[in-house]
Structure 1
Amino acid sequence: MPRSLDGLTFAPVADQAPGQVGTSTRFAYHEKNGEVWAEYAGGDVVRGHLVGTRQGDRLDFRYVQLRTDGTTACGHCASTVAELPDGRLRLVEAWEWESRTGSGTSVVEQVTEHAR
């Protein structure tokens, strides 16, 4: 059985383009009965939410965010959950904007208490 994401915090390992998530963004994940959701903020993102499902090591969700410039954006993401050698979790993400053009990949990793 894969480890639950519930109560875990994740952060990107690299900055994306301006107006997107970056290394200062923090995602607070929740998971229950195959449902996943998270709140996120930091960097150019004032407030963001994601909601979707989990089947094994695969996440499928949609996200929406409010940016510091007052604009909003939304998109779709498919992620794979992997365990790092130190026991933390990593999400390898393939995302695509739905509110504008653009797509890409990113990696977020679990943040431990002392690294927050």
Structure 2
Amino acid sequence: MARSLDGLLLSPVADQAPGQVGTRTRFSYHEKDGEIWAEYAGGDVVRGHLVGTREGDRLDFRYVQLKVDGTTSSGHCVSSVVELADGRVRLEETWEWESQEGSGTSVVEEVNEG
């Protein structure tokens, strides 16, 4: 199993559609006893939260976010945790909106600050 996500800062490697998370979005992850949660913001997202579970290298969580245009949206995501050759963590995500139409895949990777 890849290392704990607790205290990690992650960011998407590519922009999604307008109004969604993108390369300027930062996710601050927490993990304890199989629970995961994160706060995120940046780009078109003013504030977002996710909460779910981790079993091995599989995350299963729901997310909700407030966008700069004042609208909210929510959805469900399943991610695989991958440890990169340089030791950073990557999440390979499959997501679907529950509050609107749409689904897709994305990749977020640990950000090295400094």
TM-score range, shorter chain: over 0.9
Q: Percent identity?
A: 78
Matched residue pairs, number? 114
1:46 aligns with 46
Match of 2:95 in 1: 95
Aligned equivalents of 1:43, 1:29: Cα separation in 2: 18
Code of the residue aligned with 1:17 in structure 2: it is: A
Q: What does residue 65 of structure 2 align with?
A: 65
**Letter of the aligned partner of 2:50 in structure 1?**
L
Q: Please show how residues 1-12 of structure 1 align to structure 2 within 5 Å.
A: 1-12=1-12
**Superposed displacement of residue 37, structure 1:** 0.1
Moved over 3 A (4+): none
- RMSD of the TM alignment (CA)? 0.6
Task: Give the letter for the 1:72 counterpart.
Answer: T
- Paired residues for 1:10-49 under 5 Å: 10-49=10-49
**TM-score, normalised with respect to structure 1:** 0.97
Given the two structures, how large is their TM-score scaled by the length of structure 2? 0.99
Please state whether the residue corresponding to 2:59 is helix, strand or coil: strand
Deviation at 1:2, TM superposition (A): 3.0
1:91 Cα deviation from its structure 2 partner: 0.1
Deviations 1:1-59 (A, max 9, x none): 43100000000000000110000000000000000000000000000000000000000
User: Structure 2: 5+ residue runs without aligned partners?
Assistant: none
Aligned letter for 2:46? V
Structure 1: segments with no counterpart, 5+ residues: none
Please tell me the residue identity of whatever aligns with 2:97. Answer: W
